Structure 1
Amino acid sequence: MQFTLVDIWNHTGLFARMIIFTLAIMSVASLVVMAERIIVFRKTRSDSRNFAAKMGAILAKGDLATAANTNLGKDVGHLGRVINSGLTAYRINPGNKDLAVESVARALERQAQREVQSLKRGLTVLATVGSTAPFVGLLGTTMGIVNAFQLMAAAGSGGLGTISAGIAEALITTAFGLLVAIPAVMVYNFLQGWVDARAVDISESSNEFLDVVARHVGGGAQSSHAA
């Protein structure tokens, strides 16, 4: 037996092939999640930046009435959906300062949690693949080594030459497990870091918007009392 992938595959047993097929499915699942999340993240980042540029110019003037009635479409990204939830809460509030600020704050918090959870969708697949793939490969290796020693016992002869082919067959499953796990772990860490950064952006933007609402409602209340 030559130690090439083709020869090793041809000499692998049923259990080792099942392990390799399992790892292949795990690899495909992680690749699908990687591609889908990267596409979603790029789009929501672009949409959020566009929303921030347009809505920021309106909110900079403190014109909440115009902002609340401005429709920038559906593609506003994660940031736009959070701020729009706050604008909706402001539009339907009864006008009391404390109630308005509290209502807007709750709306922002609820939508922020939804957006963060939405951004995390699928990351558990990468975490699961990254943590379990090496153990799946190790299972194949363990059973392969057991089979190699069983063959050596059945043949009645020992030595490395007798079991080298079986050990090579066994170790290949660990190699496949690592090849599947390493990219999954690396991409998971990258995407998780990206989500954490967006969560900070959402929190900061929500607080800035809440400050605008507090100033606007407080100013309106003072004007009302002066009149």
Structure 2
Amino acid sequence: MVFLILLFFSLFSWSIIFQKVRFYKAVGQQSQAFYDRFRRTSSLSELYSKCERFPQSPLAGIFKGGYEELSQQMESPSSGDDSPQLSLNPGKLKSLNSVERALQKTAHTEMTALEASLPWLATTGAVSPFIGLFGTVIGIINAFQGLGEGSVTTIQAVAPGISEALVATAAGLFAAIPAVIAYNHFLNRIKLFGVEMDDFSAEFLNTVERSFGVS
């Protein structure tokens, strides 16, 4: 039973690790591509219409949240379609703070998506060694019980049982070590993504303030 539990923890953790490696790679690539487009764009409305091309970029999500709040702040007539359109007349922005709060809210949502499934890796790293140790203790108890019931009382009689029991500890470490390494690596990636999101939010606010002003 102990080995089955550890096998489940190990396999599920590895599936998360492979999924996260692909996900964070896509996040990095799409975020860089979106940021490059943001720096080159001369129309926020046009960039907003292209956000769907970057579904895994947190920067695109933050921009979308900030743009939608910005469009509500502007005193512009309805364009007649479903996409918000901004009038580029300066001095129409009512509150820059509301745009900043929208950026923060969206950033929290994006951060939650980046952190999804990581608690499982932390749990695997923390619990698996103890599960393995539990299996070892049970195995040693069984070995000594068998020794007490037998006629032979030498170390050779109990050594195979103890050796088999220690495999449970090794299995627990085998499940835990990759999970801990991956967890710490992914946390570092998330911190870097967080810095990028903060920097992008500040740059977006600067662009808004320069382009639209505050009434």
TM-score under structure 2 normalisation? 0.86
Match of residue 185 from structure 1: 180
Aligned counterpart, 2:45? 68
User: How far is 1:69 from its partner?
Assistant: 4.1
Which of the numbers 25, 29, 32 marks the counterpart of 2:15? Answer: 32
Q: Distance in 1 between matches of 2:74 and 2:127?
A: 53
CA distance in 2, matches of 1:140, 1:157: 25
Q: 1:21 is matched with which residue?
A: 4
SS in 1 for 2:100: helix
Shift of 1:48: 1.1
Residue of 157, 160, 171 corresponding to 1:176: 171
Are positions 1:47 and 2:18 aligned together?
Answer: no
Tell me, in whole angstroms, the C-alpha distance in 2 between the residues paired with 1:75 and 1:126.
Answer: 30
Q: Matched residues in 2 for 1:175 and 1:29: separation?
A: 18
CA shift, 1:99, in A, is 3.7
Identify which range, 195-204 or 36-45, moves more after superposition: 36-45
- Aligned-partner residue type, residue 50 of structure 2: L
Q: What amino acid sits opposite 1:84 in the alignment?
A: K
Aligned to 1:124: 119
Q: Report the aligned-residue RMSD.
A: 1.7
**Is contact 1:137-1:177 (8 Å) kept?**
yes
2:79 aligned partner: none
Indicate the residue corresponding to 1:203 in structure 2.
Answer: 198
Check the 8 A contact 2:124/2:179 in 1, yes or no.
yes
**Structure 1: how far apart are the matches of 2:165 and 2:110?**
44
Structure 1 stretches lacking a partner, 5+ long: 1-17, 222-227
Cα offsets for 1:3-35 (capped at 9, x unmatched): xxxxxxxxxxxxxxx111111100111011111
Q: What's the TM-score once normalised by structure 1's chain length?
A: 0.82
The alpha carbon displacement at 1:212 in A equals 1.6
1:85 CA displacement = 1.1
Q: Structure 1: how far apart are the matches of 2:45 and 2:70?
A: 8
Q: Check if 1:154 corresponds to 2:132.
A: no
| Corresponding residue for residue 10 of structure 1 | none
In 1, Cα distance between equivalents of 2:165 and 2:108: 46
The offset of 1:157, in angstroms, is 3.7
Per the alignment, do residues 182 and 195 of structure 1 end up closer, same or farther by CA in structure 2, a change over 3 Å counting?
Answer: same
Aligned to 1:224: none
Residue 155 of structure 1, CA deviation: 1.1
**Aligned positions, number:** 197
The CA distance in 1 between the partners of 2:46 and 2:35, in whole Å, is 16
List per-residue Cα deviations over 1:167-190 (Å, max 9, x = no partner). 011000000111111111001110
Identity %: 29
Partners of 2:174 and 2:25 lie apart in 1 by: 26
Which runs of 5 or more structure 2 residues have no equivalent in the other structure? 76-90
